[in-house]
Amino acid sequence: MIAIDTLPMRVGLGQFQEITDQRLAYIKQCGCDDFQMNIPDLPGEERWECEDLAGLVERASAAGLRLMSIENVPPRFYDKIMLGQQGREQQLDNMVYTIQNLGKAGVPILGYNFMPGGVWRTANNTPVRGGALATSFNYEKARHVRPGDRTNFGIWTTVQIDREYSEEEIWNNYCWYLERILPVCEQAGVRLALHPDDPPVPTLGGVGRVFRNFENFRRAMDTFDSPMHGLNFCHGCWSEMRAGEGVLDAIRFFGKKGKIFYVHLRDVQGPVDDFVECHLDEGNCDPVATVRTLHEVGFQGFLLPDHVPQMQGDGSWCERGRAWTVGYIKALIAAVTS
Ligand SMILES: [Mn+2]
């Protein structure tokens, strides 16, 4: 397993499902040693095998890179756990198996979320600076959606929602899961890194969204307190919560406790009920202050571009928008640590 506590703050790449030689070369060309994968495209309807996970780790090290985090298992691995449905015990057994395999394969961090309703956007082609294309969210357009309604708003999710679920119910399901899975993570040496609900509004499509404010994150970290439990600090979501207010306070609070395992460094323009994703230098927050504060609290993880605007000539993974962002982050780190 990579000794992740001995590394400095640094920039990495990620948010892709499949390793290719081209992608590994691109990561190297950007000057990164670390990457993350988001729901890697691996065999398994209910769980992942050790040899498949080890294959990803070996592919990374053969290219002189570190696979630092796998972010999210497919929602079908734990949808019944999130919704408290019959069959959740079977899913728990499979999650135990997958996490033990992550540990054996040498993947140090499993990023996770607890939003059965998934990520929502109300548009994916909103023009930002110079006509670059970004996603955006307007709560007015989305707040009337009922459970099971067919819309184009729910993206990056496949969970079938059969009825309304209160926030308290989702919190109780979360507790049921963490009580059982966190000891497994401790034994396997795998860190669990919690991502906020995106967007962080109280409810969408009839499903309560728990991880949408500082208080609920503090409650989760206090209730399930372990060196193996911390945050995937999605700067974009934290910026969405209060239009950029409180982001530095959250970094100080959780960062000083060593609870920030890694960072999605992106930003949005506007408040939670009407925001547009944008380039890092035109959002609600001052990215210099963000990276300086991470340095001040002794953050030793990696920061990666998350969603980025689609620039002229970009493909679906937005290589150009991503390269612009990764260079920007690299320079911020150099500036605040020099
Ligand atoms: Mn994120």
Between the CA of 115 and the centroid of ligand 1 the distance, in Å, is 13
pLDDT score at 233? 98
The stretches of the chain forming alpha helices (DSSP H) are 21-29, 50-62, 79-83, 88-105, 139-142, 167-188, 214-223, 235-241, 247-256, 287-296, 319-337
Q: Answer whether the bond into residue 199 is a cis peptide, omega within 30°.
A: yes
Between the CA of 290 and the centroid of ligand 1 the distance, in Å, is 15
Between the CA of 31 and the centroid of ligand 1 the distance, in Å, is 22
123 contacts: CB under 8 Å, gap ≥ 6: 135, 136, 137, 138
> Over its length of 338 residues, how does the chain's per-residue pLDDT go in tens digits?
788 888 999 999 999 999 999 999 999 999 999 999 999 999 999 999 999 999 999 999 999 999 999 999 999 999 999 999 999 999 999 999 999 999 999 999 999 999 998 999 999 999 999 999 999 999 999 988 888 777 767 665 668 899 999 999 999 999 999 999 999 999 999 999 999 999 999 999 999 999 999 999 999 999 999 999 999 999 999 999 999 999 999 999 999 999 999 999 999 999 999 999 999 999 999 999 999 999 999 999 999 999 999 999 999 999 999 999 999 999 999 999 99
317 contacts: CB under 8 Å, gap ≥ 6: 15, 16
Domains of the chain: 4-337 (3.20.20.150)
185-226 pLDDT tens trace: 999 999 999 999 999 999 999 999 999 999 999 999 999 999
CB 113 within 8 A of CB 72: yes
What distance in Å separates the CA atoms of residue 186 and residue 191, rounded to the nearest whole number?
8
pLDDT score at 156? 58
Between the CA of 234 and the centroid of ligand 1 the distance, in Å, is 4
Between the CA of 195 and the centroid of ligand 1 the distance, in Å, is 7
pLDDT score at 166? 97
The identity of residue 168, as a single letter, is E
Between the CA of 199 and the centroid of ligand 1 the distance, in Å, is 10
pTM above 0.95, yes or no: yes
Tokens of residue 153, six digits: 């708003």
132-191 pLDDT tens trace: 999 999 999 998 888 877 776 766 566 889 999 999 999 999 999 999 999 999 999 999
Between the CA of 50 and the centroid of ligand 1 the distance, in Å, is 26
Between the CA of 175 and the centroid of ligand 1 the distance, in Å, is 22
Strand 207-208 relative to strand 203-204: parallel, antiparallel, unpaired? antiparallel
